[in-house]
Amino acid sequence: MRLSVLDQSTAAQGRTQDVAIRETLELARHCDALGYHRYWVSEHHASDSIVGTAPEVLMAAIAATTQRIRVGSAGVMLPHYAALKVAEQFRVLEAIAPGRIDLGVGRAPGSDQLTAYALNPHSNAAKEFPRQVFELQAWVSDAPLQQGHPFGALKAHPRGPTSPQIWILGSSDYGARLAAHFGLPYAFAYFFSDGDGVEHALDLYRRNYRPSERHPEPHATICVWALAADTQAQARHQARTRELSRVERERGVRRALVSPEEAAAHPYTPAELAMIERIRSRAFVGTGQHVADALSALAARLSLDELVIVTWTYDPAPRHRSYELLAAAFDLE
């Protein structure tokens, strides 16, 4: 089993948002030493809780300060940008860390509609996503675009002996079908909805997969929220931060993370308490071995040989410890 990391650069109350970016760099180095396979960073806008707005910039710093871990985006929200510019950015990243760059792309705005419009006023941007993926795939891999394509003579620089690996990210049938059509790896955002629809999406992807030169077989993973601690009680305590964040997100509130003590003292309504119980019933929270056993069972059920772990905590130390415990439980090298 390969374990990878998704870091969303979460901000915490009492600390300025720039601290979250430096914590991402520190955690990346830690996970590199622990033996994790990939380290992915996300793109979000207009959020006081998730402040990683420029994954390509953050990836450059991670790639330059790690040794062996793959570094990627989960993802670049492609409709905001020109595909050629993204290809060039990731070609530069590939030159910084040859053979270690993942280019995960998604169609969602990663923000509200007004912010999405400010990033790209072109109203049909999301509808152009398949065309953008097609062009991006060609520019990243040095494959020619079809004859007569208006951009057929263009190339993305700098070029070299290796190229980034493209992933399609999603949480619905759309991303699964698109990844299958283009013969690309697919990552399902399991943590968005606690796994609802994952079996159907993976089945669609595998049944409809069209082999590509780089990926003759389908290659899928899922991003799962998990938290491990030395005791079950400690893990449950630290998870309270995320539980309150999930409750507030339902009300449209995206504030910086609060401490588990503050989250525990929050005056929850009966409906919110019921929501938390549903979250806990599906959560991967506990000791390292407990969480590892649950994750292994999930991976076996879905026929996966890699999982991507995302973990939120108010303080960085419990998050570092969580990744340490999972690395030990899975015997990462």
300 within some domain: no
272 within some domain: no
262 within some domain: no
287 within some domain: no
On whether the CB atoms of residues 251 and 6 are closer than 8 A, the answer is: no
DSSP 246-298: HHHHHTT--PPB--HHHHHTS---HHHHHHHHHHHHH-EEEEHHHHHHHHHHH
**Beta strands at 38-41 and 220-229: parallel, antiparallel or unpaired:** unpaired
78 within some domain: yes
254 within some domain: no
**Beta strands at 186-188 and 101-106: parallel, antiparallel or unpaired:** unpaired
Structural domain range at position 49 = 2-226+305-329
10 within some domain: yes
Q: What CATH number did the domain enclosing 155 receive?
A: 3.20.20.30
Long-range contacts of 141-150 (CB under 8 A, 24+ apart): 141/214, 143/213
Listed residue (142, 216, 150) closest to 183, CA to CA:
216
On whether the CB atoms of residues 141 and 163 are closer than 8 A, the answer is: yes
What gap in Å lies between CA 278 and CA 285, rounded to an integer?
13
pLDDT truncated to tens, each residue of the chain (333 aa)? 999 999 999 999 999 999 999 999 999 999 999 999 999 999 999 999 999 999 999 999 999 999 999 999 999 999 999 999 999 999 999 999 999 999 999 998 878 888 988 998 876 777 899 999 999 999 998 888 887 889 988 999 999 999 999 999 999 899 999 999 999 999 999 998 888 999 999 999 999 999 999 999 999 999 999 999 999 999 999 999 999 999 999 888 999 999 999 999 999 999 999 999 999 999 999 999 999 999 999 999 999 999 999 999 999 999 999 999 999 999 998
**Residue 9: strand, helix, or coil:** coil
What gap in Å lies between CA 133 and CA 167, rounded to an integer?
10
| Domains contained in the chain, number | 1
What gap in Å lies between CA 333 and CA 329, rounded to an integer?
11
232 within some domain: no
Residue 246: CB atoms within 10 A of its CB come to: 17
Angle (CA) 10-13-14 rounded to 5° is 125
Instruction: Please give the single-letter amino acid code of residue 179.
Output: A
On whether the CB atoms of residues 140 and 84 are closer than 8 A, the answer is: no
